[in-house]
Amino acid sequence: MAKDATMEDFEALLNESFDIDTPQEGTVVKGKVIAIEAGQAIIDVGYKMEGRVDLKEFANPGETSDLQVGDEVEVYLRAAENARGEAVVSREMARREEAWDRLEKAYADEERVEGAIFNRVKGGFTVDLGGAVAFLPGSQVDVRPVRDAGPLMGLKQPFQILKMDRRRGNIVVSRRAILEESRAEQRAEVISNLSEGQVVDGVVKNITEYGAFVDLGGVDGLLHVTDMAWRRVNHPSEILSIGETIKVQVIKINKETHRISLGMKQLQEDPWDAVERKYDLGSVHTGRVTNITDYGAFVELEPGVEGLVHVSEMSWTKKNVHPGKIVSTSQEVDVMVLEIDSAKRRVSLGLKQTMRNPWEVFAETHPEGTVVEGEVKNITEFGLFVGLPGDIDGMVHLSDLSWDQRGEEAIQDYRKGDIVKAKVLETDIEKERISLSIKTVDGDPFADAIGGVKRGSIITVEVTKIEDGGIEVEYEGMKSFIRRSDLSRDRAEQRPERFGVGDKVDVRVTNVDSKSHKLGLSIKAREIAEEKEAVEQYGSSDSGASLGDILGAALRGNDD
């Protein structure tokens, strides 16, 4: 029994020694290079097992192997014996196993790994991470798109593992994450040395429509177009170029986002500080039109100082036109300073104020009564508008078109474009109105006819018509009507039929209406006036004399 037990113990020890000495398939084992021949290394992996491995498996991509006989190496035992009785080993698979163990630990610890880009593939590059091959997407190569990756190929550099799956053999790495991290550290260091108000030198890296990015030595700041100069800058390229070194002031630093705002104009004197001293209200200056809008035009008085000419201050006569019809960009114009608001950095300017008010000029050169000639510009329901010197219009009211016709009839004889003569009746400078008359150009036939006749005059008229309500009479070709109540002082004599056509009658003028061309006439008023005059001359009826006696004496006196 003892002997059997001893045999069993020996067998167990023998098997155990076999397990120890015999490498297990599918593991990484240590071996020794015993020979190098035909581009292969012959490796003794123990227990009289030898395998062959191509020398290129012992070199990095693009490099040659420096393996020597006697070197100890680790290889992956794929099979203990092949058809030739040799072990099937692989250095590449061993490196891969080693690499995966190392990379999984680095991934878990969020540590950087070293590798080299060795090939370009669709969508990116392949990276050798010391035995394991990883994929580097094109977007993860650099912080900015890389046009030529040639200088990066084969270069040992750090990468960050973004994702890995050992079962599928997938590893995704990023070079960009490393650059951003180091860039962030660099930014933080640079920003910590900057302070608001500090003046620094920077290099223009990029120019956009809204400004320029300036490199301050590892960190970029934005120089907005409005902070480049006190004057209006349409595009940053007007005053900056890429690669140019400029002096800027740090306006604001956002500690959270690490954004830096820069300014150039802050290093120059603000022209607005002297605006009120230099530009008196009412003073006239020459400026350049920089921008035109629907509501007016901006005029630069000096670099950094612009004023607005509102559309209402652009022209005396062009009221409803776009400012672009009056001025053009870059045009030099004379403007008057109307108002200054330094707090709001605004100057109100006037363009029309530098030219004389055309209504004032017209009033001086064409006083009332002057005859002018012009073109009919417009015809409305209430009259004609006639073009006058100074690009202004005058209006002829319906009632001033004709002596003989009603206005509505007379206006039918006129057309747009007709050249007409008219007399100036009135010029209202404040309301910008000029009243004209066409019918008075050749004089007033009514005024000519009545001559010196005025209210209270006694004139002789001829009866031309008898009516129930009174009589129609004529004086110097003008017709007038005397009502029945005005035919006599005596009611019994107020009978139209006592007159005959052709009779000559003395009447008193009670009214002269120049506008309607009518005379107010009355026989009754003449009789009353005569009676009053007689009483004054020949005594009062209160002294005992009868009215008949007084009138008789007056009539006799007239006969004498």
The pLDDT of residue 288:
92
Q: How far apart are CA 169 and CA 343, in angstroms?
A: 69
Residues near 450 by Cβ (< 8 Å), separated by ≥ 6?
Answer: 475, 476, 478, 512, 519
Residue 540 has pLDDT above 70, yes or no: no
Lowest mean pLDDT among 25-29, 464-468, 550-554: 550-554
How confident is the model over 466-493, as a mean pLDDT? Answer: 87
The pLDDT of residue 61:
61
List pLDDT tens digits, range 254-263.
777 778 889 8
> Are the beta carbons of 260 and 224 closer than 8 angstroms?
no
Residue 395 has pLDDT above 90, yes or no: yes
The pLDDT of residue 560:
46
What length is written for the chain?
560
Residues near 399 by Cβ (< 8 Å), separated by ≥ 6?
Answer: 407, 515
List pLDDT tens digits, range 198-234.
888 888 888 888 888 988 877 788 889 888 887 778 8
Of residues 380, 388, 382, 373, the one with CA closest to residue 438: 373
Question: pLDDT-derived band of residue 22, with 50, 70 and 90 as boundaries?
Answer: low
Of residues 520, 471, 478, the one with CA closest to residue 500: 471
DSSP type of residue 80:
S
Residues near 144 by Cβ (< 8 Å), separated by ≥ 6?
Answer: none
Residue 551 has pLDDT above 60, yes or no: no
Counting other chains too, the contacts that 314-323 makes at CB distance below 8 Å and 24 or more residues apart are 314/351, 314/352, 315/351, 315/352, 316/352, 316/355, 316/357, 316/358, 316/359, 316/392, 316/432, 317/358, 317/390, 317/391, 317/392, 322/294, 323/292, 323/293, 323/294, 323/295, 323/296, 323/297
The C-alpha R_g of the chain, in whole angstroms, comes to: 58
How confident is the model over 145-150, as a mean pLDDT? Answer: 75
How confident is the model over 423-430, as a mean pLDDT? Answer: 89
Q: Regarding predicted confidence, which is higher, 63 or 239?
A: 239
Q: Domains of the chain (ranges plus CATH)? A: 21-94 (2.40.50.140), 110-180 (2.40.50.140), 194-267 (2.40.50.140), 271-350 (2.40.50.140), 358-437 (2.40.50.140), 445-538 (2.40.50.140)
Question: pLDDT-derived band of residue 114, with 50, 70 and 90 as boundaries?
Answer: confident
Q: Rounded to the nearest 10 degrees, how much is the dihedral formed by the CA atoms of 321, 323, 324, 328?
A: 140
Residue 431 has pLDDT above 80, yes or no: yes
Residue 388 has pLDDT above 50, yes or no: yes
List pLDDT tens digits, range 281-333.
889 999 999 999 999 999 998 888 888 999 989 888 887 889 998 899 989 99
List pLDDT tens digits, range 506-515.
889 888 776 6
What's the whole-number average pLDDT of the chain? 80
3-state secondary structure of 55: helix
The pLDDT of residue 10:
61
The pLDDT of residue 15:
59
How confident is the model over 23-30, as a mean pLDDT? Answer: 66
Residue 542 has pLDDT above 60, yes or no: no
**Which pair of tokens denotes residue 407?**
């206005």
List pLDDT tens digits, range 168-203.
878 898 988 888 777 777 777 777 777 788 888 888
Question: pLDDT-derived band of residue 435, with 50, 70 and 90 as boundaries?
Answer: very high
Task: Show the CA angle centred on residue 176, arms to residues 175 and 182, nearest 5°.
Answer: 100
Question: pLDDT-derived band of residue 334, with 50, 70 and 90 as boundaries?
Answer: very high
67, 230, 248, 322 from 306: Cα distances, Å: 79, 10, 24, 20
The pLDDT of residue 2:
46
The pLDDT of residue 335:
92
Residue 372 has pLDDT above 50, yes or no: yes
The pLDDT of residue 259:
83
Which is it for the CA torsion 552, 553, 557, 560, positive or negative? positive
Pairing of strands 259-263, 220-224: parallel
The pLDDT of residue 1:
44
Lowest mean pLDDT among 60-69, 291-300, 412-421, 434-443: 60-69
The pLDDT of residue 86:
63
3-state secondary structure of 38: coil
How confident is the model over 457-478, as a mean pLDDT? Answer: 87
**Which residues make beta-bridge pairs with 250?**
262
Of residues 114, 41, 96, the one with CA closest to residue 72: 41
Phi, psi of 2 (to 5 degrees): -65, -40
Share of the chain above pLDDT 90, in %: 12
The segment with the largest mean pLDDT, out of 66-70, 270-274, 388-392, 402-406, is 388-392
Q: How far apart are CA 457 and CA 249, in angstroms?
A: 94
Q: Regarding predicted confidence, which is higher, 482 or 88?
A: 482
Question: pLDDT-derived band of residue 144, with 50, 70 and 90 as boundaries?
Answer: confident
Beta strands in 109-244 (DSSP E): 113-121, 124-128, 133-137, 156-165, 170-174, 199-207, 211-215, 220-224
Pairing of strands 40-46, 220-224: unpaired
